[in-house]
Amino acid sequence: MAKCHICLFTLMLVLLISCSTEAGISSGLLSKVKDGDCVVGVRTFLIMFVWKHKFSNETLTKLITAKDNDSRRKYLVESLQERGLTIGTIRDYTPFLSSYFKYSNLSLSHGLSNSILSSSYFSIYPQVDMCQRRDYFTRYDAILLDPYNFAYYVRFYRDVGMTSGIYMNSDDFVAVPLIPFEVYTQTTRNQVSSLFDLNVASCDAKPDISDAQFLRRLTGYANFSQQDVEIIGNVTGKSQVYGNWTLVNNFLNMEMAELTINETWQQLLPSTCYMCSTDGCYGENFWPVLDLFIIPQLLIIVIYFLLLFGLKIYKKPSMKRRIGIPYTPIHILAIVITFTGLSRTCVGFWYSACLFSFFWWILIYVSTIIRFYYLRNLYALIVMFPNREKMLKMLASQKVGILMTVMLTFVISQILNLVSVYFFVNEDKVGADFYRPIIGIILLLSLWVFGGCCFLLDLFLQRKTIRKGGIRKFFFFDDPFYLRIDLISSILPVIIAIITGIEVSSNEGIEALSIFTGIFNTLLCFSLVQISGGNVLMIEIYKMVKRRKESSQLTWDQELTNSDLLQILKEYSEKEFSSENYEFYIKLKSLQNRKFIKLKELQEIEAEFIRNYSKYEVNIPSSCKKTFYELLNKCQEESQLEFQLIWDCVAPELLLNLQDTFNRLQDTSIYAKWLSVQSLKENNNV
């Protein structure tokens, strides 16, 4: 049986193996401008990056030689009035783009326009995802981005949609700062240090930052114009917005003055100057704080498996009856890994692997709970459907249990995981970031609702037992596999997941958000491990420690001469789904005083306890069964047989199984109560 469970662990690991953190774009400070605000500086603009060849030579010359940004914007508007452009921009920027086009009396539509005079915009989702790099830059005439994201992603997508061996570069585009984006007002002056965040950058270090800083000089570093103030008020819908240039004028000097586009092109670095240490940015870590939490999460799972196998607790009936559940922390490990920067290598694949692991873990758990209740009511079902006894017993076998709770759930999980196709066909990975945790919370809620209903039903059906025996008997003696404790614990992951979701949505600080998310992901990992076998592991370790400290008592076979204890053992065996050992033991004990056993009696024993899928089939080795049938054949020839031969054949294995059950009974409060009463009787010579 131990080999079977090691093979099961290996099988689950192999099946699991066979089957992102992103560099995100924020919405900036423009949306925070209020009525009556005084603008003191603009860190970045939303810049329209238009491919050079989309302009006539005359317009291109005007644009690249214009001395100020207001003039560039004017020339761009004039060009758009004659011929529209297809514009790619992220979804957060589209309201600003639409408002600006309305402000400039330009026509703009979502999707392809039928008019040559109308421009059209399309949503793009630039992100670091190596397996799904899309042709956002070559797909459209222009891209609307802030300078930092543009300089980064023009390098990341430098070869996508381009002729083989040719990279796109920042100077392939005409950059026209269109809309003030990171706007600083008097109410945000405590943060103005970031207005002048000059970085030392070169081809070898932060080339994207270098390009972005020169693109910012198209308007003068942190500077803005009166027209920019008007655009801010119009785009945001705020009134009485005005400008104050004192802060900017105190900082600006000739080295930070406005540049023409032509002058800027001369400063931009080629895309061969790459911002990452590895091609595709595999080696970069955008959220190092969050990724560090994989260490405690990994430790939780490793410690669990070390204790499970090191102390051989996987051999305990409370673990063996769970079949696949004790090994499902493998799934939890797969899930927590996909919340690290590793997912950036291929968002679609890793998010799909995450959901598959979630589906499989949930299905294994639910199917095992169903199997527990089936086993608990097996004998009642046999009485109810006597003609289906063999089939009912077959469904209760270990092999069918593995097939139903591990293999079948694997197939069903693959089918359910077809929803993950969404991650591959949908370009909006921001939507994927929202979709994945929502599915996870729905699955956890479903598990909790299912487990809660099972637990409440148990409470209702066992209400008389609880009143009579107490809550401790309900949780331990009546449930030797501790399923009810797991069902109660299933609420913890739900609570943690909901709290995490609420806090993440309301927290804006990246570092604080990473720490908070990491802590709650670790707590979630711990709670999932607990209901996947951790609770049972802790209980079994406690029982092992307690048993070592206790003094030796009467031997179990001596104690079983007590009729009260026999009744307790019978009840406990039924709860543990091992009443066949007790019934066989009682049957043999009733014949033990006889020297010979008759053929009819031996045939009854075979039909009731030895035959495959019999009512009380006992778990004995095949060699033992073979010997029994040889003795049965001998008895058929002689009509009777020495009882001692039968006892020597089946008793060693039977007593070993029964003793295991009895040892677990000794850990219960019911046994402790019986023992105290027995000791009291002996002390008083009763």
Q: What distance in Å separates the CA atoms of residue 519 and residue 339, rounded to the nearest whole number?
A: 13
* Confidence band of 227 (pLDDT split at 50, 70, 90): very high
pLDDT at 41: 87
What are the backbone angles phi and psi of residue 179, rounded to the nearest 5°? -130, 125
- With a cut of 80, say whether residue 549 has pLDDT above it: no
pLDDT at 302: 93
Burial of 249 (0-12, 13-18, 19+ CB in 10 A): exposed
Q: 432 and 344 in contact (C-beta within 8 Å)?
A: no
pLDDT at 474: 60
426-478 tens-digit pLDDT? 666 666 667 777 887 788 788 888 877 877 777 777 677 667 666 665 665 55
Calculate the alpha carbon distances from 662 to 64, 213, 565, 570, 659 in Å: 90, 77, 10, 10, 5
- The residues, ordered by sequence, that sit 6+ positions from 69 with a Cβ below 8 Å of its Cβ are 176, 177, 218, 219, 225, 258
pLDDT at 322: 83
pLDDT at 341: 73
Q: Which residue has the higher pLDDT, 624 or 273?
A: 273
Q: What distance in Å separates the CA atoms of residue 521 and residue 515, rounded to the nearest whole number?
A: 10
pLDDT at 91: 86
pLDDT at 22: 38
Give me the mean pLDDT over the 169-197 stretch.
Answer: 82
Smallest CA-to-CA distance from 323 within 9, 17, 658 is with: 9
Q: Which two tokens stand for residue 124?
A: 């793009």
Calculate the alpha carbon distances from 181 to 34, 46, 69 in Å: 14, 6, 15
Smallest CA-to-CA distance from 361 within 301, 284, 311, 306 is with: 301
Count Cβ atoms below 10 Å from residue 274 Cβ, excluding itself. 20
* Confidence band of 48 (pLDDT split at 50, 70, 90): very high
pLDDT at 72: 94
- With a cut of 70, say whether residue 131 has pLDDT above it: yes
Smallest CA-to-CA distance from 43 within 26, 21, 18 is with: 26
- With a cut of 90, say whether residue 100 has pLDDT above it: yes
- With a cut of 70, say whether residue 275 has pLDDT above it: yes
Burial of 163 (0-12, 13-18, 19+ CB in 10 A): exposed
Most confident of 142-146, 216-220, 538-542: 142-146
β-strands 596-598, 640-642 pairing: antiparallel
Q: Which two tokens stand for residue 430?
A: 């921001």
CA atoms within 13 A on the CB side of 330: 18
Give me the mean pLDDT over the 267-286 stretch.
Answer: 80
pLDDT at 226: 93
Give me the mean pLDDT over the 495-513 stretch.
Answer: 64
Q: What is the pTM of this model?
A: 0.65
Q: What distance in Å separates the CA atoms of residue 148 and residue 199, rounded to the nearest whole number?
A: 12
pLDDT at 685: 44
In this structure, the dihedral spanned by the alpha carbons of residues 308, 309, 314 and 315, taken in order and rounded to 10 degrees, is -140
Q: Which residue has the higher pLDDT, 548 or 347?
A: 347
* Confidence band of 627 (pLDDT split at 50, 70, 90): confident
- Tokens 């693109």, located at residue: 215
Mean pLDDT of the chain: 79
Most confident of 185-199, 475-489, 646-660: 646-660
pLDDT at 626: 84
pLDDT at 365: 87
Question: In the chain, what percentage of residues exceed pLDDT 70?
Answer: 80
Give me the mean pLDDT over the 618-628 stretch.
Answer: 81
Give me the mean pLDDT over the 501-511 stretch.
Answer: 59
Give me the mean pLDDT over the 137-153 stretch.
Answer: 93
Burial of 546 (0-12, 13-18, 19+ CB in 10 A): exposed
Q: Which helix (H) or strand (E) holds 226?
A: helix 226-236
Give me the mean pLDDT over the 633-662 stretch.
Answer: 80
Q: Which two tokens stand for residue 627?
A: 């010997």
From start to end of 540-622, where are the E strands?
A: 596-598
pLDDT at 169: 93
- With a cut of 90, say whether residue 304 has pLDDT above it: yes
* Confidence band of 23 (pLDDT split at 50, 70, 90): very low
Dihedral sign computed on CA atoms, order 672, 674, 680, 682? negative
Domains defined along the chain, listed by start = 30-267 (no CATH), 285-549 (1.20.1070), 556-683 (1.10.167.10)
- Tokens 């100057």, located at residue: 273
* Confidence band of 50 (pLDDT split at 50, 70, 90): very high
Most confident of 8-17, 174-183, 634-643: 174-183
Give me the mean pLDDT over the 196-224 stretch.
Answer: 87
pLDDT at 58: 92
pLDDT at 142: 95
516-540 tens-digit pLDDT? 778 888 888 888 888 888 888 888 8
Smallest CA-to-CA distance from 365 within 420, 444, 437, 461 is with: 444
pLDDT at 281: 75
- With a cut of 80, say whether residue 168 has pLDDT above it: yes
What are the backbone angles phi and psi of residue 39, rounded to the nearest 5°? -80, 130
pLDDT at 444: 79
| SS3 category, 582 | helix
